Amino acid sequence: MKTFLQLREAMKKGMPPGDHVFDTKMKGVKIMIHKVKNKFSLYIDNEKLDDYNSLSAAKSAGMAYVKQAKQ
């Protein structure tokens, strides 16, 4: 039987769906934003966090999340 860690690693292969719009690394955490239809999807370390209506809202939410989590 596969462990949770093995399943999680298998899901990380490749890029998430949609057009790659923005990426950066902040405090060792990878932040990516992809555009899917009319929404901007925020990914932190290749895991989807949430969808936003604008690129600037997604960027600011990602930066705030990393600042809060890595204090």
Residue range 9-55, pLDDT digits in tens: 777 677 778 899 999 998 889 999 999 999 999 999 888 999 999 99
Distance of CA 23 to the CA centre of its chain: 9
How far apart are alpha carbons 16 and 18 in whole angstroms? Answer: 7
* DSSP bridge pairs for 35: 19, 40
- Domains of the chain: which residue ranges? 4-69
Residue whose token pair is 């999680």: 8
pLDDT, residue 40, reads 96
> What region does 69 belong to: left with phi over 0, alpha with psi -120 to 50, or beta?
alpha
pTM, full prediction = 0.79
